Structure 1
């Protein structure tokens, strides 16, 4: 059974004649008549009465048309799903992050994405740099937001936004009396950093800014846990400005007046990724970053 035969039959019934259906479909009336006769022969039932009045459904034809309309509606639904998925308007994006999407600009970007793509499911995975790289390679993640210094080879990436760095200090710390700080003032104090056996990019990044001779204390823990240690007086740390929007007991923040006191966030994905929703997410983040001048 040819689906086009069902389409011809449906249009003929809706328009009331073969000539009207032919005009609507851009074919000859004889083509429609022939295809419907073939359908009737295949089903072994007369679907249409033909006469000077045009065409009308037989009793059996009315029963057939119920199923025909159901079949065509189902086919149209499949087409719509295909178009929507192919355009990236539906689907699933598994997004990996190094830092929680707190404050601007990332929270604002994700909010705008959600408003424009409500039918795309976004799942957030918070991992360290090494885990993000492995997850992209193994395809358990579609895409990841990482700092520039943590980018690994083999991934495509675009810069999305840049954030100022601030110093997080224990309340009552000697440096808390300053309105702003410099690398020279910070490097004489114990600096807490996130660090795992296979991922020390944060400490390496901090060292590139603070210079040699800094005493680091690495912790395989979340940024929130590191901030808790700062509040407990174990040392100081660096944070993106958006992270400073979160209040931690016993922690105060101070700006750093240095030209290189910033961190750049990039969107990374595997070059072989073909998922339409992921492609749309990349394009959205790129275009939004440009329109908002986030770099």
Structure 2
């Protein structure tokens, strides 16, 4: 049998299922759809050649092979964590700089905590932010203008090394006098009759597909502008838009940001870097971010496991 490399994220997904005892709870803790998580576990089972989880009408049950695999995975993860910590400590005395590109404003609480911890642990290695526009972010990475970038999953360059870091909720943005502006939460169906304004990335096929699966019949207009200019047109009543929760922290007058209460109302933000990079500082930063993201997922999984029982996934 040909051995296929296992992705670290798949191992983390499996541990989340083991810890919560439910595909549904694990998926919610990871901000994934249950079907996406189930497929990831199936791929892992195919790679290992054994059944890890039995799916039943009552939920799921970890098999004997699954429990054995979980023990070994945890042991490997603990050793990897210890190695990462030693590497970070060795890096802390270096004086260096890493250039990171941001597609979204880095105000997400999870990301902010990661960056704060990095500054405390490695105070002599500064992080310099870059915000190229959507058409040049990948080019800046390839041209070595930046060392790494945090990019939403729908814009991921497939040729680069990448790892998921956090999930950014999506929100609907309406003029404050819009008839839906008083709602506490919205569903995709609530926006079906609205004119949806989108910024330039949505003209690409992957951008159109992103919204076509969520709002298949909505009328869309793409603006060749920045997101801030688009928000100004929303405020002027030209339509509504969907944007990352990060923009809601700007407290822009005349606009109302409303959460979307759907399982797919989020984007996965990944750290991307050049696979051929041999810079030890970049390697340490990537290892740090990947380790912190993994810990965050485990904490989220534990919180989901402590909640009251949910209907079977």
TM > 0.5: yes
Q: Would you identify which runs of 4 or more consecutive aligned residues in structure 1 move more than 3 Å? A: 86-89, 196-204
1:241 aligns with 2:245: yes
1:105 aligns with 2:116: no
Mapped contact 2:108–2:168 kept (Cα < 8 A): no
1:157, CA displacement in angstroms?
A: 0.2
Relative distance call for 1:223 and 1:272 in structure 2 (3 A) is same
Mapped contact 2:100–2:150 kept (Cα < 8 A): yes
Alignment of 1:75-86 (within 5 A): none
Q: Structure 2 length as normaliser, TM-score? A: 0.61
1:159, CA displacement in angstroms?
A: 0.3
Give the equivalent residue in structure 1 for 2:197: 192
Query: C-alpha separation between the residues in 1 aligned to 2:166 and 2:207?
Result: 18
Structure 2 gaps of 5+ residues are 1-86, 302-313
Query: C-alpha separation between the residues in 1 aligned to 2:107 and 2:234?
Result: 19
Relative distance call for 1:198 and 1:261 in structure 2 (3 A) is closer
Query: C-alpha separation between the residues in 1 aligned to 2:202 and 2:109?
Result: 31
1:258, CA displacement in angstroms?
A: 1.2
Relative distance call for 1:201 and 1:118 in structure 2 (3 A) is farther
Alignment of 1:58-137 (within 5 A): 87=91, 89-137=94-142
Give the equivalent residue in structure 1 for 2:273: 269
Give the equivalent residue in structure 1 for 2:181: 176
Query: C-alpha separation between the residues in 1 aligned to 2:203 and 2:126?
Result: 31
Q: Secondary structure at the match of 1:209?
A: coil
Give the equivalent residue in structure 1 for 2:221: 217
Structure 1 gaps of 5+ residues are 1-82
1:134, CA displacement in angstroms?
A: 1.4
1:289, CA displacement in angstroms?
A: 1.1
Mapped contact 2:248–2:257 kept (Cα < 8 A): yes
Q: Secondary structure at the match of 1:169?
A: strand
Post-superposition Cα deviations, 1:46-79, rounded to whole Å, max 9, x if no partner, equal xxxxxxxxxxxxxxxxxxxxxxxxxxxxxxxxxx
Relative distance call for 1:92 and 1:158 in structure 2 (3 A) is same
Q: Structure 1 length as normaliser, TM-score? A: 0.65
Mapped contact 2:197–2:239 kept (Cα < 8 A): yes
Give the equivalent residue in structure 2 for 1:161: 166
In our comparison, the structure showing a higher alpha carbon Rg is 1
Query: C-alpha separation between the residues in 1 aligned to 2:238 and 2:110?
Result: 30
1:196, CA displacement in angstroms?
A: 5.7
Query: C-alpha separation between the residues in 2 aligned to 1:107 and 1:128?
Result: 21
Relative distance call for 1:242 and 1:283 in structure 2 (3 A) is same
Higher relative contact order (CA 8 A, sep 6+): 2
Mapped contact 1:228–1:248 kept (Cα < 8 A): no
1:164, CA displacement in angstroms?
A: 1.9
Alpha-carbon RMSD across the aligned residues, in angstroms, is 2.6
Query: C-alpha separation between the residues in 2 aligned to 1:254 and 1:197?
Result: 21
Alignment of 1:131-150 (within 5 A): 131-150=136-155
- Identify which range, 86-95 or 139-148, moves more after superposition: 86-95
Mapped contact 1:194–1:226 kept (Cα < 8 A): yes
